[in-house]
Amino acid sequence: MEVTFYGHACLSVKTSGKHLLFDPFVSGNPLVKDIRPDDLPADVILVTHAHGDHVADIESVGRRTNAQIISNYEIVTYYEKRGLKGHPMNIGGQVRMPWGTVKSVIAIHSSEFPDGTYGGNPGGFVVSNAEGTFYVAGDTALTLDMQLIPRTSPPLDFAVLPIGDNFTMGILDAVEAARMIQCTTIIGCHYDTFGYIEIDHQYARKAFADAGMQLLLPAIGETITL
């Protein structure tokens, strides 16, 4: 699978010939200099929750690509009212798509659109197909529910975890999360974008290495193959 990081919590995973785009947010990200919403490829847009730093570019990418939005019922309904197409889920449910299965899993956070509309419950996703299995946690605290993931899904090849602290897990909680999900290849996200979530990269990498895991911090625009 090819993973391209677009800053903050926005990334695309190319798998089964499809671009799965998570939490599109490049406009308004002060760290993103030369990537515009029109540069984001998407066959499917997966949305973890309704906060502005996760939904900012959904409308423009959705209109350009006609991608299917997969998210909770409230978020999908919000975009369907604006003429986009989607597939609604809720926590605990799994759906089989032509390119793989998607399971909606718990995230401990909040979820409200920038305009004040209720955004349903926040969540994460476990995506699985013949190429592999990965977990995108979304904005979340460390929670014991993460232990259920290796008990109910195929072994994870990689996971995307927030590490910026303040609004989500910080580095040490993310190490514990990686233990719970039994995954040793972690892509860090949700750090450095704003002053509240700046981290020490060297400390973060060492904390994971000391636990026998690898923390990947791809540059914005960088593609890695996992």
Residues in contact with Mn ion by CB under 5 A are: 51, 53, 139
Contacts of 74 (CB under 8 A, 6+ apart): 50, 111, 117, 118, 119, 120
With respect to Ni ion, which residue has the nearer C-beta, 19 or 51? 51
Q: Measured from the CB of residue 167, what is the shortest distance to Ni ion in angstroms?
A: 6
Contact partner, 74, from Ni ion, Mn ion, none, Cβ < 5-8 Å per class: none
Looking at beta carbons only, is 59 or 113 nearer to Ni ion? 113
C-alpha 95: how far from chain center: 17
Q: Which is nearer to Mn ion, 1 or 10 (by Cβ)?
A: 10
To Ni ion, the closest distance from the beta carbon of 130 in angstroms equals 32
Interface residues with Ni ion (CB under 5 A)?
A: 51, 139
Closest separation in Å from C-beta 51 to Ni ion: 4
Q: CA-CA distance, 202 to 110, in Å (whole number)?
A: 30
Q: From the list Mn ion, Ni ion, none, pick the one residue 8 interacts with, judged by a Cβ distance below 5 to 8 Å according to partner type.
A: none
Closest contact distance (angstroms) between CB of 170 and Mn ion is 14
CA distances to 46, 77, 105, 128, 151 from 86, in Å = 10, 8, 18, 19, 29
Judged by beta carbon, residue 51 or residue 103, the one nearer Mn ion is 51
140 or 153, CB closer to Ni ion? 140
Q: Structure tokens of 188? A: 């860090």
Q: Is the dihedral of CA 52, 101, 182, 205 positive or negative?
A: negative
CB of residue 193 to Mn ion, shortest distance in Å: 9
Rounded CA-CA distance 154/9 in Å is 24
165 binds, among Ni ion, Mn ion, none (CB under 5 to 8 A by kind): none
User: Cβ closer to Mn ion: 12 or 153?
Assistant: 12
CA distance 180 to 129: 22
First and final C-alpha spacing in the chain: 5
Q: Which does 23 bind (CB under 5 to 8 A by kind): Mn ion, Ni ion, none?
A: none
Please spell the DSSP secondary structure of 52-115, one letter per residue.
HHHHTTHHHHHHHH-PEEEEEHHHHHHHHTTT--EEEE-TT-EEEETTEEEEEEE--S--B-TT
19 binds, among Ni ion, Mn ion, none (CB under 5 to 8 A by kind): none
CB of 9 to Ni ion, least distance (A): 8
Task: Outline where DSSP puts E strands in 138-184.
Answer: 158-162
